[in-house]
Structure 1
């Protein structure tokens, strides 16, 4: 789960200590949206393999493509909201699209034995989710800070509260959707998608019915309304604007069709995401107006983005190969209850809720004593912890046959260590982007950050496809043959360990390049996944 920082702390008058009621509305809306997102994610891989009968490699690649595109479309959604629709309309349209998507997936799972229809409906549902998320996600996140006056110190706490709502939704989603959908019977997957759709409708309805009364600016005006035309705009200008809106609708239809067919062609998705990760940084650095100091700080963000790719490529195995491992090679019997494989995905968000305050206190305690690690060093710790987590599970499966099931301890311990790694890297990294990006290219630098996450998610599908399957040819990676689970998990140990070591080698140089980065203070977190 990725995170974004709040604004700079400023003095606040004694009478302004409570939070706007609009925060509760946004908290609830986002909680249900995350319930929907993570509920679907918990059973997506299992549905592809068990009901649609996708191969392990095909399902892994499609999973990575879906997540990669989910992090590309917010760039479009944010642009449209700023120029045309405003936050409110964008959130409503995105929410309704995602609800519809879950019901389309419900239809796919209801007729999973009808190969033609179930596959078509599944791809359509994914495209709707990708597009809907692009409108919903960036706009609701930005509205939290806009509830408060500029530089109001309550914003820090507000983002932390909002962040907790996200993880509440993410915690219960795998349990509820997994309990009804991940039963071992392919016909039951539809109930998980149905519940995810109902959750999305509840979130959208909450926002729609309460936004007018509570989601308002500090002055009491509507927050996130459609951008206003200039008073001097003529009728002719208005007609031109209407034509532009029609063209925009046509563009959306075209982009939706493109996304639909992109989902079907993995090579096109690879080219789209990986080329964007190269082109956008070049476009940023091509700005000749950048000062040497600004260029140096941007280079730090670009270098950090490289390491972020490997972090999310390994971390996002949670809904991919690790769900397969939980299903096939984990002893999930707990007394008379067989724990659904999807349940394990709740460990991370629950761990975030428990340990985020602990890490906040830890960084503050270290800061007061002058011992707080720099941001690049914290991120190196995050990558190292990811490697340790995979080393734990690699040890658990060493010399284990393909038919042997291992204790739940190994998977649980790995997820817990990965949660610690996330807390070291995700909030720190995005806070770093906000602090270092020059104001005039701040949006573009945020695009680079999301592109790094998109690339990492896409790469996670490529790596997940290496999962060894009994009776099938052993996959190869970088010249090495992966004959079993031990070798598979060691791929992630080596990748994360090597990148952590490389970051440790250069973190002092990066810290110096950052120049005036503040060494104290803890930035609250807002998940964007």
Structure 2
């Protein structure tokens, strides 16, 4: 077969096309994510708890819509059309947010409408883009090709080159201390997304091909002509976007239903797949492994995704960012993870190959990833222990934590993507990739809920002091607030009591970070315990 020589000399050129497309899309997503909670709290003046929950709803829906996008790609559009369509929708969403950030101080009502509309388009577009480009990576290689784990690690570097550049560029453009400048961060994200679409359009046909040379991602055979009618597509995209805008608004403002929707989605997909009589017992066991590991990664990402929420608050309020010659924008710390991925990914790709027969199984690698995540939070918890909310700590605590989290991510995320590709039957390839992102959806929603437990920091304490209230003794429970103080705190949207989880009160940043140590640590130990069982269910000998 013509692809055999290439298997020994390197990777298909199509991998680098997908690398570039994904890089620009991640520039767009991570750049916007880095400044999102800051835009909500500094420009739109949302309180932290509401901004955290809104962040969780948005990022949760971002990872939920791939279920729909993956299904439509599998049945009607193919990967190529879905990727380009999704990219254009996300670019439009960023430009709508640009106008939102331009008008927020002159027309609050219109700005709020544009805010939810822009994020709604981002949610809808991501649904078509995300599962399909990840699915194409695996299709570049023959089944059982040993290069696939390394390919996903290289692809993951593309994700993180964009993830590193996005927060840096958007941070310096938008997070300047002047809320009016946030609009330039959104504008930069929109331009980056258009560049990603352009790369895919120009190079898909020539380079993104199967081992036999056929172009990947084409419209499936037997697709009804009506499904490809431009009017039908346009109406369908408009309706889908309107639905996402409505769901996002309702979950944020009316009733938080997303958790129930996620559970229903899992059960529905499991029913569709496991009721398929054409699947063999071995195929169903492999699919079962996908569902099991997806459950465990919820605990990883719900802690990891604090990077866009509570850890951004921590960077803004309690991290010493003044270098003397430059004050580092808080949003730029969100790029640390991606910078470390670019630096560490080649090492991990080399390590898995070097270990040879001693290489840990995929579930074991993922358990190691959870353990490293717990160690990262233990590091920063130690850094803030016995530190008051008015004291700023060294940047080394955030930097060290992100380094450990990155090592954990490289043990879990690219390995998980590769695992889904290897275990999923071809007919359910994109849909099962969407299941992987469904775990991300649950984790991101949970991340927003956990971030809302973040203790009041220097900003709230100063705000209360400006209103004539000394919040410190109230928070430490040494005094009780008066009725007048309670009324003022309510008007200022400042919680005067710390939050609790499972009945355990979160009284300090140390306890807040230790919550993630316990959560990720327990999940890691359980996954280690069931690794051998999962290996049997994978039937690795047949895959090899």
| TM-score bracket, shorter-length normalisation | 0.7 to 0.9
**In the alignment, what sits opposite 1:511?**
535
Q: For residue 259 of structure 1, report the CA deviation from its aligned partner.
A: 1.1
Deviations 1:130-168 (A, max 9, x none): 111122223333444556778777777665544332221
Stretch moving more, 469-478 or 180-189: 469-478
**In the alignment, what sits opposite 2:403?**
416
**In the alignment, what sits opposite 1:374?**
361
**In the alignment, what sits opposite 1:180?**
173
Q: For residue 383 of structure 1, report the CA deviation from its aligned partner.
A: 0.9
* 1:66 pairs with 2:53: no
**In the alignment, what sits opposite 1:425?**
412
User: 1:10, 1:153 within 8 Å by CA — same for their partners in 2?
Assistant: no
* 1:115 pairs with 2:72: no
1:111-190 matched pairs, under 5 angstroms = 111-113=103-105, 114-144=107-137, 159-190=152-183
SS at structure 1 position matched to 2:238: helix
Summarize the Cα distance change of 1:132–1:11 in structure 2 as closer, same or farther, 3 Å threshold: closer
Summarize the Cα distance change of 1:58–1:441 in structure 2 as closer, same or farther, 3 Å threshold: same
User: 1:387, 1:493 within 8 Å by CA — same for their partners in 2?
Assistant: yes
2: distance between equivalents of 1:199 and 1:14?
32
**In the alignment, what sits opposite 2:314?**
325
**In the alignment, what sits opposite 1:49?**
41
Deviations 1:462-511 (A, max 9, x none): 11111111552211111011122111111111111111122233333333
* 1:385 pairs with 2:385: no
* 1:360 pairs with 2:349: yes
* 1:482 pairs with 2:506: yes
How many residue pairs end up in the alignment? 502
Summarize the Cα distance change of 1:410–1:270 in structure 2 as closer, same or farther, 3 Å threshold: same
User: 2:152, 2:418 within 8 Å by CA — same for their partners in 1?
Assistant: no
Unaligned runs of 5+ in 1: 1-8, 231-236, 521-529
Deviations 1:46-82 (A, max 9, x none): 1111111111111111111111111222222233334
**In the alignment, what sits opposite 2:386?**
399
SS at structure 1 position matched to 2:237: helix
Q: For residue 296 of structure 1, report the CA deviation from its aligned partner.
A: 3.9
1: distance between equivalents of 2:144 and 2:529?
36
1:445-484 matched pairs, under 5 angstroms = 445-469=432-456, 470=460, 472=495, 473-484=497-508
User: 1:17, 1:154 within 8 Å by CA — same for their partners in 2?
Assistant: no
TM-score, L = length of structure 1: 0.85
SS at structure 2 position matched to 1:373: coil
User: 2:13, 2:207 within 8 Å by CA — same for their partners in 1?
Assistant: yes
Deviations 1:195-220 (A, max 9, x none): 11111122223333455666567787
Stretch moving more, 334-343 or 466-475: 466-475
Summarize the Cα distance change of 1:509–1:426 in structure 2 as closer, same or farther, 3 Å threshold: same
Q: For residue 358 of structure 1, report the CA deviation from its aligned partner.
A: 1.5
1: distance between equivalents of 2:7 and 2:429?
33
Summarize the Cα distance change of 1:104–1:333 in structure 2 as closer, same or farther, 3 Å threshold: same
* 1:263 pairs with 2:256: no
2: distance between equivalents of 1:353 and 1:505?
31
TM-score, L = length of structure 2: 0.83
User: 1:147, 1:216 within 8 Å by CA — same for their partners in 2?
Assistant: yes
SS at structure 2 position matched to 1:13: helix
2: distance between equivalents of 1:158 and 1:291?
28
1: distance between equivalents of 2:311 and 2:66?
27
User: 1:67, 1:458 within 8 Å by CA — same for their partners in 2?
Assistant: yes
Deviations 1:409-447 (A, max 9, x none): 111100000001111122223333333445555555433
Summarize the Cα distance change of 1:94–1:302 in structure 2 as closer, same or farther, 3 Å threshold: closer
1:15-94 matched pairs, under 5 angstroms = 17=9, 23-94=15-86
2: distance between equivalents of 1:25 and 1:361?
22
User: 2:153, 2:414 within 8 Å by CA — same for their partners in 1?
Assistant: no
2: distance between equivalents of 1:288 and 1:144?
28
SS at structure 2 position matched to 1:407: coil
Q: For residue 513 of structure 1, report the CA deviation from its aligned partner.
A: 3.8
**In the alignment, what sits opposite 1:494?**
518
* 1:252 pairs with 2:237: yes
Unaligned runs of 5+ in 2: 461-493
Q: For residue 324 of structure 1, report the CA deviation from its aligned partner.
A: 0.9
Q: For residue 361 of structure 1, report the CA deviation from its aligned partner.
A: 2.5
Summarize the Cα distance change of 1:14–1:376 in structure 2 as closer, same or farther, 3 Å threshold: closer
User: 1:281, 1:448 within 8 Å by CA — same for their partners in 2?
Assistant: no
Query: RMSD in angstroms over aligned alpha carbons?
Result: 3.1
Deviations 1:443-470 (A, max 9, x none): 5543332221211111111111111115
2: distance between equivalents of 1:174 and 1:358?
24
1: distance between equivalents of 2:28 and 2:350?
31
